[in-house]
Amino acid sequence: MSDKTELLKTLYDVLGEEGCGMSCEDAEIFQDDEGWKMNLEGFMEPWKLGKTVSEARESIREYASMGFGLH
């Protein structure tokens, strides 16, 4: 499984089928010189997730727990 696929799976696992909807299907997760980022439909800027896959998974869980349009 690629790192990107792993992060998309984490997003789906955290939100579940009902909470995910189009957000997960249209989520763009990518890596640049700053680290992993996620861009969801309806948000202007990508969210910084962290330098490593582990940090990115934790960030996804944290964003979901706070709401931030992920539910």
The one-letter code for the residue type at 63 is Y
pLDDT of residue 12: 85
Q: Is the dihedral of CA 53, 56, 61, 62 positive or negative?
A: positive
Q: Cα(4)–Cα(9) distance, rounded to whole angstroms?
A: 9
Average pLDDT, the chain: 84
Q: How sure is the predictor about 3, in pLDDT bands with cuts at 50, 70 and 90? A: very high
Q: Cα(43)–Cα(39) distance, rounded to whole angstroms?
A: 7
Structural contact between residues 29 and 8, judged by C-beta atoms closer than 8 angstroms: yes
Q: Find the range with the poorest average confidence among 3-12, 16-25, 60-69.
A: 16-25
